[in-house]
Amino acid sequence: MIRPSPADVVVIGAGVVGAACAWHLARMGLSVTVVDRGPVAGGTTGAGEGNLLVSDKAPGPELELALLSLKLWQGIAEELPDVEYDRKGALVVADSAPALRGLLQTAAKQRDAGVQAHPVAATALAEYEPHLASDLAGGVHYPDDAQVQPMLAAARLLAAARDLGAQLRCHVEVTGLLRSGERVTGVRTRAGDLRSGAVVNAAGTWAGEIASMAGIRLPIAPRRGFILVTEPLPRVVRHKVYAADYVAAVESDDADLQVSPVVEGTAAGPVLIGSSRERVGHDRTISVDVLRRLAAAAIRLFPVLAGVAAIRAYRGFRPYTPDHLPVIGPDPRSPGLLHACGHEGAGVGLAAGTGHLIAQSVFGEAPDLDLRPFRPERFA
């Protein structure tokens, strides 16, 4: 049974976003209980690459959140042990002159917004990535992009929150919200009711189902992606390397399959190859066709990978919103309920800032970022 005494805040979801919310709230002295129907990092968090990216974001609210998060992640990496924080940087490459022009224009706008973005001439690409295809048109280097091991990051944040008194209840499913009129006053779970002053919905691709328990519509849909994993290699890929058309694929509203190569090495040796996007619900079927396309796109960037074995593949589901922005903050339609969800493929990167903004909201402080672009009622 869950302890019957009320918590200040219940966080639904033990992924990296819920973990970051719990950690920020616990540090501000609140009693926090995190509930998840599965294990820590059992959803999107555990199926991604742990990217902390600014390179793939156009100037706007998401980039501002990413910049805030990047700063906060640096502090978290200093404070928490072994989350495998690696400021590896990204190299975005273009394979044609028009693609390069578009990439350089994007980079110029990003620089105006405070992002470090250095153009790299075609002849200089090999200095960054010696194995890169030799016929590319050029690229842009983003030194601030970083990575954490996402499952470790979620686990360490939760462990640090528990050191501050937070409770973690895995394998406890929320079946309803406790309400007093419109106000949310806790959660109903299969292990009993848990009353709280506030409830944070960090349920990832299932956040819409949690919202519906309060009679609220939150259009969050799963967007499937596969990652292909090679056998362990020496460091053949130094940065996160991706094609300039990746940003267009991310920003697309198309439900059909899109593939855009994203290639990066890992500390353990395997190279990770993404990315694919398709809206097919929570269908977990492995698609050999998608894997084949991922492999071909990666070989286009790094021909050396043609002679390397892929040893496995995995898939995950990004929590997609129709305008590609996360949902962060109190829901005016249901006092006591806050949302921290809908981060699509950027949830690890954006988690640190999201947790910070949620903690500010719970305390009624003015948030460091304008939350209006992220407001939950914008879809109504």
Partner 1 sequence: MTATFNLDGRPVPFRAGQSIGAALIAAGVLSWRSTRQGGRPRGIFCGIGACFDCLIMVDGRPNTRACIEPARDELDVRRQDGNGHAELTV
Q: Which residues bind partner 1 (CB under 8 A)?
A: 130-131, 231-236, 269, 304, 308-309, 311
CB of 129 to partner 1, least distance (A): 9
Alpha-carbon span 338 to 331, nearest angstrom: 6
Q: Which is nearer to partner 1, 134 or 252 (CB)?
A: 134
294 close to 259: Cβ distance less than 8 angstroms:
yes
Shortest Å, Cβ 23 to partner 1? 31
Rank residues 58 and 311 by Cβ distance to partner 1 and give the closer one.
Answer: 311
Cross-strand pairs, 221? 320
CB of 234 or CB of 364, closer to partner 1 = 234
Cβ proximity to partner 1: between 119 and 303 the closer is 303
CA pair distance 206, 201, nearest whole angstrom:
9
For 288-312, give the DSSP string. HHHHHHHHHHHHHH-GGGGGS-EEE
* Complex with partner 1: residue 125 or 187, whichever CB lies closer: 125
Return the structure tokens found at 168. 């973690």
How far is Cα 238 from Cα 75, in angstroms, rounded to an integer? 23
Q: How far is the CB of 229 from partner 1 (least distance, A)?
A: 13
- Considering the complex, what minimum distance in angstroms separates the CB of residue 127 from partner 1? 11
| SS3 call for 176 | strand
Please report how close the Cβ of residue 236 comes to partner 1 at its closest, in angstroms: 5
Structure tokens at 167: 């409770």
Distance from C-alpha of 116 to C-alpha of 259, rounded to nearest angstrom? 27
Alpha-carbon torsion 319, 322, 328, 333, what sign? negative
